[in-house]
Amino acid sequence: MNGGVELQPIKKKKRSVILLWTLGILVFLLAGGIIGVNFYVERSLPLTSGTVSLNALSQNVEIIRDNQGVAHISAKNEKDLFIAQGYVQAQDRLFQMDLSRRQASGRLSEVIGEKTVERDKFFRTLGLRRAAEVSYTAYPDETKQILEWFAEGVNAYIKEAKEDGRMPVEFTLLGYKPEKWTPIDSLTIGKYMAFDLGGHWQGQAFRYWALKNLSEDKAYDLFPSYPEGAPEILSSIGDLSINIEESFAGAVIPPEFNGSNNWVVSGEKTANGKPLLADDPHLSLGTPSIWYQMHLKSPEVNVSGVIFAGIPGIILGHNEKIAWGVTNTGPDVQDLYIEKRHKKDSSLFLYDNRWEEATFIQEPILVKGKDEIPYEVIITRHGPIISDFAGQSDEEHALSLRWTALDPSLELQAIININKAGNWEEFEKALEDFHTPTQNFVFASQDGTIAYKANGKIPIRNKGDGMLPVPGWDKEYEWKGFIPFDKLPTVVNPEKGFVATANNRVIDESYPYHISHHWAQPYRYMRIARYLEGKDDLTVQNMKELQMDQVNLHAAEFVPIFLRDLRDQELTSKQEQAIEILAKWDYKDEKSKSAPLLFHSWMNILSKEMFKKEVPPELMELFEGRQSIVDEMLRKAHEGEVSSWFEPYGGYHEYLQSSLNKALLELEESYGTDMGKWKWGDFHKVYFEHPISGASPILEWFFNRKDPIPVGGSRVTVQAASYNQEGIVNHGASWRFVIDAANMSEGYHIVGPGQAGHFKSDWYDNQIDAWVKGEYHKTSITDVEAKNKLVLKAE
């Protein structure tokens, strides 16, 4: 008995020791694993100091990274400069570059799997890569050589990273390695940017659906202007059974709010007598940034600014003599043609009373872990048949796409020449090769010149105006050319002392050519113009303040209208409280205020609810310019011209009130019943998301290290901050830039979230707070403060 009693503690002690040893081993293994993983991840960080041998170089190249991670590349000749640019971009953004070329080429499924098959089919159908291949053949030899040099630099880094086990961790997570880079890859990414900035084919498809499925008055209410040619076009087309919903299920539609702000001010309105220029392109926000900031210097060029990762040169920025920036013009450069198929031979399409044979291209899609999917693209004289990619819906008819970006174009040639331009004449000459996308260029020069040009290829239609699909068999609907270069909207040294654009209408009724039916709401432009008109001693600081301006002129127009129109309605106490909050608002979309949350929630419901009963959800994606159309309906209703869209809701005043009530109920559910405590920033938050972070919470923690941050502004303020249904700001100023022509050697920038693509880099997300607060960093092309210095050594 005594022995048994005494032995029990000993057994417990042994168990405890074993448990401790086991836990210790597990902790050791876990710690070792973490250390190993951390070592592996940190090993893939790019070398930014020391020396790296690069066989392709003819002479050594110096790369200085400043305290924001901006690479300043100094080379003794152009060849070495572009090789080094390719190498450095690959160091910081290789995974982004690879994903970009795959997306534009329709090859995501090879590394992601079945989830992206429909997306790949869509981009194979569009044929951005095919268009890039044709464009490459049109380039002069000297520009082809630049593309080759750039690709050499990218491939030098890929080879080095593979051999040294330094490949970015995303490749390991997805289980593949990047292929060699080619000049076609760079041009394909360029074509993708033309796609991202749109051309309005989806609006044509939607309006065609509306005319076929809605009453005439309701359909016409959804047009941006009265379609005078609609009856003629519809009678020419006849009775079709094309199912728009099925034909474009899964189509990739660029964000409608892709726009920008830019302006340039002459020395007559500045404190120092020299021009000021500001630019902030509005594109999707994510990690890493869509832009990569660089400074390139050689005997031929000294230029600084931003470029899309994967492309040589600098697309936006400045050199020692000039500066420039862009916004999207948004012209009608896409037309849907209704093609008539032969009943017995589907390869034949009718044109001018004859049957023409289409081109068939095999585009098999490789899918990770699955069998290859055969896929065929059909191309008519107008372009690819885009209504078949989701499944043919009409054996006798199809929709093809005519689009300027599918033609050969020489944008890179323009970029290289812009980088070297020294005055307006040289700059404008370079723009002759910039065909797509059409952009509003603003320009400032050290010599005091300011200028503007809406530049690109904009079609002249023989018949039709880009409002609806047109009969592809009728030669009367062909394009007969493009607006002549010297007739494109241009302004040089205007009397009012400034030029500003914000995707607004840039022409008046006297302009002889059609550009677009679709312009952004005018509120950003109105605010910019009022600000610039009101001052004659403008400074760089004023430009920064204006880029961060949160005045909401959309609300300033409609809140008074709503308050007047609800004045005689019987309101609940909650509705009256909401009205009181809006009545006291100064119309600034500040993150700490409740009024912006109220207004935007109300307006979002107003612009969506009225269509839910008659427009299928999948068609809402194609409904272009919805907010502008709803705004016009509200203006007319206020004046007594009430659209029939309000009838199912009891009329205009009843719809206004019921929408407010719905907004309040939704806000109470999310933020409580005390309206005084509601804040715009509780809903409206910026979040720079990495493309693969959504795969798991662990990846989200690694790649998106900062939680969503409350931020002011909105879709209609100069501080553009568009958001999704969850309130996440995922679209806005992808780059902010200000420069004073009195000192062309330095510019002021914000590139959110940062320069680097590696999540362990100091420059990965260090500009998020700067993006929120409007804190710019200065980048010089003459006086560079080196944080790291890397020498690429010729051998």
Residues in the chain: 795
Distance CA 75, CA 62 (A): 7
Lookup: tokens for 390: 């989701």
Distance CA 525, CA 499 (A): 10
18 domain-assigned: yes
Q: Do residues 3 and 29 share a domain?
A: yes
Q: Do residues 292 and 440 share a domain?
A: yes
Q: For residues 235-253, b (16+ Cβ closer than 10 Å) or e, as one string?
A: ebbeebebbbeebbeebee
Q: Do residues 583 and 669 share a domain?
A: yes
Indicate the residue among 619, 652, 678 that finishes a domain. 678
Q: Do residues 435 and 521 share a domain?
A: yes
Provide the 10 A C-beta neighbour count for residue 371: 7
Region of poorest pLDDT, from 230-239, 331-340, 566-575: 230-239
What pLDDT is recorded for position 198?
A: 76
Q: Which residues does 291 contact at the CB level (< 8 Å), separation at least 6?
A: 281, 306, 307, 308, 734, 735, 751
Q: Do residues 674 and 563 share a domain?
A: yes
432 domain-assigned: yes
Confidence at 282, pLDDT banded by 50, 70, 90: very high
Indicate the residue among 623, 647, 678 that finishes a domain. 678
What pLDDT is recorded for position 627?
A: 93
Q: Do residues 610 and 523 share a domain?
A: no
Of 84, 93, 92, the C-alpha closest to 152 is 84
Provide the 10 A C-beta neighbour count for residue 657: 20
503 domain-assigned: yes
What pLDDT is recorded for position 403?
A: 96
**In angstroms, what CA-CA distances link 587 with 189, 403, 472, 528, 716?**
39, 40, 49, 15, 11
By CB atoms closer than 10 A (0-12, 13-18, 19+), residue 707 is exposed
Do residues 388 and 415 lie in contact, with contact meaning Cβ atoms separated by under 8 Å?
A: no
What pLDDT is recorded for position 183?
A: 98
What pLDDT is recorded for position 8?
A: 41
What pLDDT is recorded for position 238?
A: 66
State how many domains the chain has.
3
687 domain-assigned: no
Instruction: State the residue range of the domain holding 273.
Output: 259-332+423-463+482-547
Region of poorest pLDDT, from 115-124, 144-153, 392-401, 695-704: 392-401
Indicate the residue among 634, 663, 678 that finishes a domain. 678
Confidence at 699, pLDDT banded by 50, 70, 90: confident
569 domain-assigned: yes
Distance CA 550, CA 714 (A): 8
* pLDDT value at 551 more than 80: yes
Residue 499: phi and psi, rounded to 5, are -130, 135
Q: Do residues 456 and 531 share a domain?
A: yes
Region of poorest pLDDT, from 43-52, 139-148, 309-318: 43-52
Could you tell me the strand order of the sheet in which 490-492 lies? 50-54, 788-794, 61-65, 71-74, 291-298, 301-308, 316-319, 322-328, 439-445, 450-455, 490-492
Distance CA 562, CA 655 (A): 11
What pLDDT is recorded for position 225?
A: 77
What pLDDT is recorded for position 180?
A: 98
Residue 513 sits in a domain whose CATH number is 3.60.20.10
513 domain-assigned: yes
